[in-house]
A and B are shown apart, each in its own frame.
Chain A
Amino acid sequence: MNKKLILITILIISIKLLLIKEISAQEKYFTRDATVSFFSSTAMEDIKAINSKVSCVLDIKSGKIEFAVLMKAFEFKKALMEEHFNENYVESSKFPKAIFIGQIENLYEINFEKDGTYNATIKGTMTIHGESKEITTKGNIVVKNGNLILKSEFNLSPEDYSIEIPGVVREKIAKELLISLNAQLAPFNR
């Protein structure tokens, strides 16, 4: 009788422990300091801008991934370029944010519990300058000590987002900009 009671108690405790583990298993990863840079290369000039204040949330259970980018946080080497970018091209006072909401298409291929490098295909909607476009991009996710590093490179064309670049400077800015993304995500505990 006593033995039975002990067994039941152990059983209950282990079920509870399992449940706790299930609840505390980390699902959301977050960073407020991801980096997005863009690079434009033409015969006339190379232009680079870096934004180190991009936020990213990844839900590893559903594969949903979101990025939010403040247009005013892109830093250029030349002040005049930054002003043109903000005032004339992306109109950052009117459209302060760019947003990407997407989905990791091959979620089943990524084991977030095992350290390693995994390829990821991400599909979603990019909204810049008030214009939304479907994009698909490839990248990789490094799982390391419970943190994630997501990297990707892809091209964007300003014209796709109704960003008009006047004729005088059109030749200085590439038709396709190379976007590089680097996000180091940590479990979101709160």
Chain B
Amino acid sequence: MKAKIISGIVFLIIILMGITYYQFNRSHIDISKQEPVYSISATKLFEQFSADEAKANSKYLGKIIEVKGKIYSIEKGVNEDYNILLMDSDEMFGISCNISSNEINESIKAGQELSIKGECSGMLSDVVLIRCIIIKK
């Protein structure tokens, strides 16, 4: 009986350690496999943020969203990353997306329309999306 209790306790401890280890080393969610919470055009998203930033923050902050728009510029970042700016040429600011270099190929050019999925981290001069991926159509 005593042995049973002890082995039960040991078993529980092992499970707890396993959960802790899993939690601690858990990797980030794979955005490519996540359904976007919102799907919206770049212009609309920017409008919502500039109209009421606090309201837009409570709606979008930390959420996975899919944004459709026109590439204004694509530039290599300091780290192994690229920055894509979605906006129309007559605008001042737009949606600024950080994207890993292995998502990028030569077919992605300024002027092109595309959809990007990423995590919304709020607004500075532009609305910022991080961990972006390009949605293949």
Contact = CB atoms under 8 A, between A and B. Distances in A.
Interface size class of A (residues with CB under 8 A): 20 to 34
Interface in A153-170: none
B25 A78 contact: yes
A183 to B, nearest CB: 9
Contact of A50 (B23, B58, B79): B79
Contacts of A55: 124-126
Nearest to B58: A93
Interface string B117-131: 001111111101011
Interface residues of B, number: 32
Contacts of A75: 130-131
Instruction: Determine chain B's interface SS by DSSP, over half rule.
Output: mixed
A52 B92 CA distance: 20
Contact of A52 (B23, B62, B77, B120): B77
Contacts of A71: 121
A78 B75 CA distance: 27
A79 B125 contact: no
Interface of A: 32-33, 35, 50, 52-55, 68, 70-73, 75, 78-80, 82, 86, 92-93, 96-97, 182, 184, 190
